Structure 1
């Protein structure tokens, strides 16, 4: 079965202005590299679908979506915090981004694909139970994980996050839900500085100092994530795939490269093969140098697809 690639052109309609790093160019760059290398031809390609209010409510407060809708401008942009802005099409794009995680989850659970990658935006891992932040409105991967838990064969899931920023929103949503393990590597101290010191058996925080290299990252994953995942034995694995820890990314100071993303993807596939029947859903988070983002995503998908 081919790896499934889920995206939608309308994810590019979310636009916070020409100077904002979380721009429509990110998805265009990914698509261009996948087409140029021919990898796109080896994937099952699907369009995102819209998430429903009921699906959003699995991970967010009941009024979370309504509050965002009340702030949605008819023109221009309105900031929900100093980093995160709504334009008229933002929630349309955010609904497709979250809906892609639902579509991917359902397709994997139905046995129609082994794994899936969602090339969507806006990202999601900073969106908390009751608050948007950090470029994020709906927590896409959390919504996908909650969807998986509705399936009778899924009792435990794990979310792993190698974005350079800590997944405060994902931790906030699942900190008291032991069926969901959240493993995260991130630069520290650095944005967003929330939930980095939380103590829960199902929360595996792995802070990395600025200028950490590949060896440090790989050691953190092997000594912290791997034993925790082996103990948790997830029935399904979700990846918050942020690529802004790349050494060429302007947003932070961690020095990873494409080989690190291949390596961690392969390790997670091995975990999924042992415990999760190979079931993986990966959702794009950060990555703000379009070139390094696109080639890192290619390395990630190529590994998921077994090339």
Structure 2
């Protein structure tokens, strides 16, 4: 069994964007309830971790944005944009969420854990350098990657984003560098409107952004083909020193904000691909961080499926990904025009 860390804290439940807001504390609560079952929760390591510092945030965001979010502390209700609301403890939760990613990266580097899952909120991948947006205050994954570059000297970080929505903030954070390779699968055109296939990076970062925009309705077989034929081959060419995953469960079949058809077996398979890549390319250094997901059953079952693959041990009466399903997904050859288009663009930069 691998030593898999789970980052959790009740502070993440105290971010309250509003009673009818889809990004509710219940999203995490249903997962934490499963971890509180001894037969599941006892399989994992729960590190102690500290909030990010202001300096950690400002590596990726403007000081003005940091100060704007910090000003919301202790106040019952603030709007950072039309979709992004805060409560009295939202700033504290956001700092701790970014701190979880930093701590996970540090522990991976120091060999204190094999891989990990940051079960945090608020999410992060929409947060731009100068703007909180799309339910996101600070960009947790981008802040963590910047910390790794500054403190560990990492020069090749691979970020995979399978959230329903394109991670505009993460893409723009690294759009002009060849030190971070960002790959995203997402529903398009859809919020936030970025992530077209021809968005491939700029200057030294040209070719280091890979977007696979999808029309909706894609499920396990389609996602498996994308990961098998595009994301995994690009990763092998890039040879990352660290793999970070922005994990959105809003591609679940039944999520109210999306039109994708991924099942828990699909989430398990995508995780298995990333675990295998990490073990072959970067000594297993893989950190998954929660982004979106608004169907509570999808959140619960998707998280358990991801955790089962991370730790390498069955968590329930039967595995989320049985051998027959795994074999079918590994050989998926479903027709997918958007992948073919993305492959053609990507081949301009990578021999895959």
Q: TM-score range by the shorter chain?
A: over 0.9
| Structure 1 residue 73 displacement after superposition | 6.7
Q: State the TM-score, normalized to the length of structure 2.
A: 0.84
Q: Does structure 2 retain, via aligned residues, the 8 Å contact 1:8–1:47?
A: no
* 2:217 equivalent to 1:211: yes
The number of equivalent residue pairs is 306
Partner of 1:43 in structure 2?
44
Cα distance in structure 1, aligned partners of 2:89 and 2:20: 18
| Structure 1 residue 135 displacement after superposition | 0.3
Larger radius of gyration: 2
Q: State the TM-score, normalized to the length of structure 1.
A: 0.95
Cα distance in structure 2, aligned partners of 1:272 and 1:228: 13
Higher RCO (Cα < 8 Å, 6 or more apart): 1
| Structure 1 residue 199 displacement after superposition | 2.2
Partner of 1:261 in structure 2?
267
Cα distance in structure 1, aligned partners of 2:48 and 2:127: 23
Which sections of structure 2, spanning at least 5 residues, go unmatched?
202-206, 314-352
| Structure 1 residue 61 displacement after superposition | 1.9
* 2:244 equivalent to 1:238: yes
The verdict on how the C-alpha distance between 1:222 and 1:37 changes in structure 2, with shifts beyond 3 A counting, is farther
Partner of 2:318 in structure 1?
none
Q: Find runs of 4+ consecutive structure 1 residues off by over 4 angstroms.
A: none
Q: Does structure 1 retain, via aligned residues, the 8 Å contact 2:199–2:210?
A: no
| Structure 1 residue 37 displacement after superposition | 7.2
Cα distance in structure 2, aligned partners of 1:103 and 1:135: 23
Pairwise CA RMSD of aligned residues?
1.5
Q: Does structure 2 retain, via aligned residues, the 8 Å contact 1:98–1:138?
A: yes
* 2:40 equivalent to 1:34: no
Partner of 2:345 in structure 1?
none
Q: Does structure 2 retain, via aligned residues, the 8 Å contact 1:7–1:47?
A: no
Cα distance in structure 1, aligned partners of 2:38 and 2:23: 24
Partner of 1:185 in structure 2?
185
Partner of 2:146 in structure 1?
146
* 2:70 equivalent to 1:69: yes
Secondary structure in 1 matching 2:63: coil
| Structure 1 residue 3 displacement after superposition | 0.3
The verdict on how the C-alpha distance between 1:195 and 1:292 changes in structure 2, with shifts beyond 3 A counting, is closer
Q: Which residues of 2 match residues 1-307 of structure 1 at below 5 A? A: 1-36=2-37, 38-70=39-71, 72=72, 74-152=74-152, 154-196=154-196, 197-200=198-201, 201-307=207-313
